[in-house]
Amino acid sequence: MNLGELYNDLIREHSMSGHNKRHLEKADVVEPGKNPSCGDEINLELLINGDKVEDAAFTGVGCAISQASASMMIDLIRGKSLEEAKELSRIFLNMIRRETLSGEELERLDEAISLQNIANMPARVKCATMPWHTLERAVADLGK
Ligand code: ZN
């Protein structure tokens, strides 16, 4: 299996898996995100404890890339501090913008690295980045 196939499998797995697609029993913030150009819509739910993302989940509809990106993001930020979540978001968005990142930074994205080739598909970039922009707004709302 080459890397491209492995990445496609990861995207497919995440887009089909429901493990992050649910409602939290309680949430401190519910942030909507939309990508009208593709019809992707999510509601991101975060449960915060102190400065930590205690739990996260999402509901929504959309293409495989948007739903996989949301699911991978949630796996990454669960249990992390809000500062770390912001940092991961910065790294992910820079990866999609093809900015230079260290190997160490890329490694922190774990499975979300599988979305890096989306940078070559301008029509799909918003599908991949929409959940992360939604996260940034959710964190900003919490700070208010
Ligand atoms: Zn999409």
pLDDT in tens, the chain (144 residues): 677 887 888 899 988 888 999 999 999 999 999 999 999 999 999 999 999 999 999 999 999 999 999 999 999 999 999 999 999 999 999 999 999 999 999 999 999 999 999 999 999 999 999 999 999 999 999 887
Q: What is the pTM of this model?
A: 0.94
Burial environment of residue 13 by CB neighbours within 10 A (0 to 12, 13 to 18, 19 or more)? middle
What letter represents residue 17's amino acid?
S
**Distance between Cα 130 and ligand 1 center (Å):** 9
Q: Give the list of residues 6+ apart from residue 49 with CB closer than 8 angstroms, or none.
A: none
**Distance between Cα 113 and ligand 1 center (Å):** 18
Find out whether 75 and 109 touch, Cβ atoms under 8 Å.
Answer: no
**Distance between Cα 109 and ligand 1 center (Å):** 20
Burial environment of residue 96 by CB neighbours within 10 A (0 to 12, 13 to 18, 19 or more)? buried
Residue 113 DSSP symbol: G
**Distance between Cα 64 and ligand 1 center (Å):** 7
